[in-house]
């Protein structure tokens, strides 16, 4: 996982619980990165999962809900650091359609060792979109948070239903989205 993701988690923890909590969390890690993450560096997924499960206990929040909240937080950071990807779009659907073949492709050029998830799309009607997510990391709850805040950014409400999920043994996660436009 890229250091960018760890840095966003660090920021969220410091805001919610203070810098001491983050220091304790990284000191408890068994690996040797010892909590020093550079944006371009790559660190073990397990280290991210360990931090998330520690945080889940500290906040008394189930992991799925925590990861979803982290997704919401992360999209705000992405908007600050990668505004250009948002500016090209005037609605949420068009932005979401650009993630697999534009945004994550650019991210991969920037950070060749990044492991980006795969999204397939089914686009059958103007106010609907199906996103089919696949990644060994099974971070669909992270995607849920990102999708929710995407709606807010574009002044839309997105009804999202995950009708099929890798956490329940499916091959991929299937998100059925309905967009309710700017009113
Ligand atoms: C400007 C917007 C975005 C940027 C710059 C961005 C960039 C990134 C980066 C750097 C990672 C980490 C990859 C790694 O550590 O190997 C990542 C992971 C991820 N991204 Fe994006 N992303 C953006 C928007 C989105 C959106 C809108 C979605 C879905 C709706 C999405 C879905 C994911 C997921 C689920 C992961 C977790 C990794 C995995 O599932 O394997 N991203 N993204
Ligand atoms: Zn899922």
Looking at the structure of the chain, the number of domains it has is: 2
Protein residue whose Cα sits closest to atom 33 of ligand 1: 143
State which of 42, 60, 78 marks the end of a domain. Answer: 60
Q: What is the pTM of this model?
A: 0.96
Alpha carbon distance 130, 21 (integer Å): 39
Q: How much is the pLDDT for 35? A: 76
Residues 138 and 90 in one domain: yes
Mind listing the pLDDT tens digit for each residue in 72-128?
999 999 999 999 999 999 999 999 999 999 999 999 999 999 999 999 999 999 999
- What ligand is nearest to the CA atom of residue 160? 1
Query: How much distance in Å is there from the Cα of 162 to the middle of ligand 1?
Result: 18
DSSP E strands in the chain: the ranges are 118-122, 128-134, 157-164, 173-180
Alpha carbon distance 109, 115 (integer Å): 11
Q: Note down the domain range covering 93.
A: 68-180
Q: How much is the pLDDT for 183? A: 56
Residues 45 and 114 in one domain: no
- What ligand is nearest to the CA atom of residue 165? 2
Identify the burial level of 175 via C-beta atoms within 10 angstroms of its C-beta, where 0-12 means exposed, 13-18 middle and 19 or more buried: buried
- The DSSP symbol for 101 reads I
Average pLDDT over residues 159-183: 94
């Amino acid at each position: 996982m890229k250091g960018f993701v760890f840095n966003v988690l660090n920021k969220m923890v410091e805001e919610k619980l203070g810098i001491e909590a983050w220091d304790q969390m990284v000191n408890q890690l068994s690996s040797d990165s010892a909590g020093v993450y550079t944006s371009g560096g790559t660190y073990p997924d397990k280290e991210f999962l360990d931090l998330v499960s520690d945080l889940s206990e500290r906040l008394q929040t189930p992991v799925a809900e925590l990861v979803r909240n982290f997704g919401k937080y992360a999209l705000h950071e992405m908007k600050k650091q990668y505004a250009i990807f948002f500016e090209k779009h005037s609605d949420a659907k068009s932005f979401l359609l650009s993630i697999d073949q534009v945004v994550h492709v650019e991210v991969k050029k920037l950070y060749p060792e990044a492991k980006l998830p795969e999204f397939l799309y089914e686009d059958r009607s103007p106010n609907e979109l199906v996103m089919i997510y696949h990644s060994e990391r099974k971070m669909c709850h992270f995607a849920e948070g990102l999708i929710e805040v995407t709606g807010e950014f574009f002044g839309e409400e997105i009804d999202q239903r995950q009708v099929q999920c890798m956490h329940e043994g499916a091959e991929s996660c299937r998100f059925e989205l309905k967009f309710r436009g700017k009113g």
